[in-house]
Structure 1
Amino acid sequence: MKLTILGCHSATPRDNARPTAQILEMKGHLFLIDCGEGTQMALRKNRIKFARIKHIFISHLHGDHVYGLIGLISTFCLLSRDSELTIYGPKGIKELILIQLKLAKVYTAFDLRFRESVENIPQLLLEDDSLTVTTIPLEHRVFTHGFLFQEKPGDRRLDIVACEEYGVDQAYYRKVKQGHDVTLDNGEVIANEELTMDGDKPKSYAFCSDTVYKEDIVPQITGVTALYHESTFLKAHENLCDRTKHSTAEQAATIALKAKVGTLILGHYSSRYGDYELFRSEAREVFENSELAMDGKVFEFSNPKL
């Protein structure tokens, strides 16, 4: 699982501070999460192939999370894209994009699909053989949800010594890894647990975009490998959170602590602050494994064992 931060700042884009956008690489997929202004430039800078992006997830319709999307779609058209593209987001995302394409007389040669969400409850958006993507209900000034990306359990690991001792033919190894028991020639049934060991622990990533402190998301994201949680303000400006519907670094860390996540990644910093290390310091007083999102930063997560 690999996460590339394309942008992680709030409000307006600046020379060295792009608004929110991320690329999550997981089980062969390349997911684009939010698409603030300048996203396609950041994609080029980080040498990410446009053609590999087949699913785009938009958390809400504020400009610093979506204004780069029409430009990216237009570029897809100019590059003669022909593969399907699905955009997931709140109700209104389809109208927002299609009206711009219509007025600009831009026509897509590829199949452009939309999956809009209207309910403030977790909804399954995408599922294949290897992973699922589900919405995380959040609370902001407009309808907003985050996204939970979860790998499905993979194959178990063969205990070669045990297989040889029981005389299991190699032709059955694949089925054994998939969890099947084995029946020997003499009719004896060998339980799968005798022949295998736990495989890699499935990884997961929770993206919690703009939101107030919302403790009721904890059960849904408990135990995730990594959590991105907005931290627009420091504790000194916590009084602004209710009005703007944002969170502090301390509040993000409190969510991470309660959810027992592996790593907390902070982002969406207000431009009022010049020293981002203040966010990490504040968060680490509550949750030690807190890291800063920075434009261009890459996080890679290995395969922990069960």
Structure 2
Amino acid sequence: MKLTILGCYAATPRTITNPTSQVLEIKNRMFLIDCGEGTQVQLRKNKIKFSSINHIFISHLHGDHFYGLVGLISTFMLLNRQTDLHIHGPKGIKEIILLQLKYSNSYTSYNLYFHELSATESEIIFEDEKVIVKTIPLKHRIYTNGFLFQEKIGERKLNIDEVQKHNIETCYYQNIKNGKDITLDNGTIIPNAELTFDPPRPISYAFCSDTMYDETIIPIIQNADILYHETTFLETEADKAQKTMHSTAKEAAKIAQLASVKNLILGHYSTRYDNIELFKEEAQTIFKNIELADDGKSFEFD
């Protein structure tokens, strides 16, 4: 699993920082999460192929999380994209985007599908044979979701020495990897556990931005391998966090601790702060395994 931060700062873009957008590579899938202004420029800077993005997840309809979307959709058209593009986001996103495309006479040459969200409970919004994506209902000033990305358990791994010892033909290999026992010609049953190793442990990634401190998300993100949690303010501005329905670094760390996640990534910093290391210092008073997001920074997990 690889996470590339395209932007992780709150509110307005600056020459040195970008609003929220990130790319998650998981099981050979590439998902774009949020699409703040300047996202397509950041995609180019980080050498991420536009054609590899088929699903975009938008957390909410504040501009710093989706104002780059219509530009990216239009660029896909200029690049002669033919592959379907799926947009998962709050109810209203379809109307906003189609209205811009209509009045700019910029309808796409590829199929554009909108999957609008309105549920207030966690729900599955994407699933294939390798990955499942669920919403994480968040508490913000408007309807907002985070997203939980989970790998599915993969195939078992062949113990090739044992397989060859029993002279098992290759045509049975897939059945073995699917977990089946093997019956030899003499009637002997070889248990699957002797022929295989356990598959790699599936990894999960939880994205939570924007939200105020909210313990109701804990059962959804429990034991996640990586949690990205917004930390717009430090505790010295806790009153502003409460008023704007954002979180402090200490609150993000408390959520990570209560949910027993393995790693916490902080982001969505207010641009009022010149030193983001202060967020890590504050959060580590509660939770130790902390990384700081920053524009252009990548994280790899296995």
Does the TM-score normalized on the shorter chain lie above 0.5? yes
Please name the residue that 1:269 is paired with.
269
The worse-fitting range, judged by mean Cα deviation, of 134-143 and 149-158 is 149-158
SS of alignment partner, residue 13 of structure 1: coil
Please name the residue that 2:251 is paired with.
251
Aligned mates of 2:126, 2:47 — CA distance in 1: 26
Report how far residue 256 of structure 1 moved: 1.1
Please name the residue that 1:28 is paired with.
28
Number of residue pairs aligned between Structure 1 and Structure 2 = 302
Cα root mean square deviation, aligned:
1.3
The worse-fitting range, judged by mean Cα deviation, of 111-120 and 193-202 is 193-202
Is 1:129–2:129 an aligned residue pair?
Answer: yes
Please name the residue that 2:14 is paired with.
14
**Paired residue type of 2:223:** G
- Percent identity, aligned pairs only, is 57
1:177-256 equivalences in 2 (<5 Å)? 177-256=177-256
Is 1:58–2:58 an aligned residue pair?
Answer: yes
**Paired residue type of 1:244:** T
Q: Which TM-score applies when normalising by structure 1?
A: 0.95
Please name the residue that 1:74 is paired with.
74
Please name the residue that 2:138 is paired with.
138
Q: Which TM-score applies when normalising by structure 2?
A: 0.96
Report how far residue 76 of structure 1 moved: 1.2
Aligned mates of 1:164, 1:112 — CA distance in 2: 49
1:94-133 equivalences in 2 (<5 Å)? 94-133=94-133
Report how far residue 172 of structure 1 moved: 2.4
SS of alignment partner, residue 41 of structure 2: helix
SS of alignment partner, residue 71 of structure 1: helix
SS of alignment partner, residue 186 of structure 2: coil
**Paired residue type of 1:87:** I
Aligned mates of 2:188, 2:104 — CA distance in 1: 70
SS of alignment partner, residue 207 of structure 2: strand
The structure 1 segments of at least 4 consecutive aligned residues displaced by more than 6 Å after TM superposition are none
Report how far residue 39 of structure 1 moved: 0.5
| CA deviation vs aligned residue, 1:216-258 (integer Å, no higher than 9, x gap) | 1111111222111000011111122221110111111111112
SS of alignment partner, residue 67 of structure 1: coil
SS of alignment partner, residue 3 of structure 1: strand
| CA deviation vs aligned residue, 1:203-222 (integer Å, no higher than 9, x gap) | 11111110011111111111
Report how far residue 188 of structure 1 moved: 2.8
Please name the residue that 1:45 is paired with.
45
SS of alignment partner, residue 48 of structure 2: coil
Aligned mates of 2:238, 2:38 — CA distance in 1: 29
Aligned mates of 1:28, 1:132 — CA distance in 2: 13
SS of alignment partner, residue 54 of structure 2: strand
SS of alignment partner, residue 76 of structure 1: helix
Please name the residue that 1:156 is paired with.
156
Aligned mates of 1:173, 1:83 — CA distance in 2: 34
Report how far residue 186 of structure 1 moved: 2.4
Aligned mates of 2:184, 2:89 — CA distance in 1: 52
Report how far residue 165 of structure 1 moved: 5.1
Question: Could you list the runs of 5+ residues in structure 1 that have no partner in the other structure?
Answer: none
| CA deviation vs aligned residue, 1:111-155 (integer Å, no higher than 9, x gap) | 010000111111111111111111111110000001111111011
